[in-house]
Amino acid sequence: MTIQWFPGHMTKARRQIQEKLKLIDAVIELIDARLPLSSRNPMIDEILQGKPRLVIMNKADLADPEVTRQWQAYFKNEGLTAFPVDASTGTGVKDIPNQIKLLLKEKIDKQIAKGMNPRAMRVLIVGIPNVGKSTLINRLAGRNIAETGDRPGVTKGQQWIKVAGGEMELLDTPGILWPKFEDQNVGYRLAVTGAIKEEILNVEDIAFFAIKYFANYYWETMSERFDLKERPTDLDNPDEIVAVMEAIGRKRGCIVSGGRVDLEKASSLFLRELRAGKLGRYSMESPY
């Protein structure tokens, strides 16, 4: 489901997360490994008010592993622990409680030094819609409890979910954040991956953006799949990108009367294949 975010929604979402911060020891900031910046909330540092944070790059199974490694180094440089996860199969998920423990080590050591029994670490997951919050909660909990889908502003009874033999407790309702709408490229990157619905942006514009990006970074994969002969020489020339779109359309038989290529159909088809993983693993932005 795509949420229409208005300033009122943002204020409410922010307030709800900040209310929850009082209850928890650490935050898991969930982002999409294919677009780690575009899938982040622009005000995240301000919203989290210095709460210890683990950055999880989800959907790493779909991202370019080399670029994901670069992002991990980028976040380390920013003073944040980040690591890739595939919440849909569970790869990397079992490390999360240990990483949270490391993050809270000082606090836990202090409790032990005072002779206290450290209580369960309380954690909240936050992220933009579709990033995989519910999938991760279910995966960590080892059962099917979190509802998938998003309803900002809807308050449900909150529950703590025990994880890692009770060492960690997770709030069952994640914090839903908004992406950075002001930057049109962010919108396109999110739309390419399917994080926001196509109705918001024009499908041909989204495909144009993706094809231009692939022509630059993943030409081999794209040309192999669609049997493309001519690589654009000037990526800033829209005609050259449209020529690639047409070649893709012709290859897939998206032809209208008069032999012209149906660009809308070609665009939808290209995006469908991309999202279905037919063009292999890719990242839509890199840190360097």
Q: Which residues are annotated as a binding site?
A: 58-61, 130-135, 175
Residue 131 makes contact with ligand G4P by CB under 6 A: yes
**Per-residue b or e along 139-148, where b marks 16 or more CB atoms closer than 10 Å to that residue's CB:** bbeeeeebee
Query: Which of 41, 68, 135, 267 forms a contact with ligand G4P (CB under 6 A)?
Result: 135
Written as one letter, the residue type at 276 is A
CA–CA dist 285, 85 (Å, integer): 18
Q: Which of residues 88-117 bind ligand G4P (CB under 6 A)?
A: 88
* Beta carbons of 21 and 49 less than 8 angstroms apart: yes
Residue in 16, 61, 198, 252 binding ligand G4P, rule: CB under 6 A = 61
For residue 223, state whether it binds ligand G4P (rule: CB under 6 A).
no
Distance, in Å, from the CA atom of 210 to the CA atom of 270, rounded to the nearest integer, reads 9
Under the criterion CB under 6 A, does residue 267 sit at the interface with ligand G4P?
Answer: no
Show the DSSP H helices in 114-255 as ranges. 133-141, 184-193, 203-217, 219-226, 238-251
Which range in 4-12, 94-102, 123-131, 254-262 contacts ligand G4P by CB under 6 A?
A: 123-131
- In the bound state with ligand G4P, the residue whose beta carbon lies nearer, of 144 and 216, is 144
Give CA–CA dist 191/186, Å, rounded.
Answer: 9
- Please select the residue that binds ligand G4P; options are 99, 130, 173, 267, rule is CB under 6 A: 130
Judged by beta carbon, residue 56 or residue 100, the one nearer ligand G4P is 56
Q: Does 148 bind ligand G4P (CB under 6 A)?
A: yes
Which residues belong to the annotated binding site for GTP? 58-61, 130-135, 175
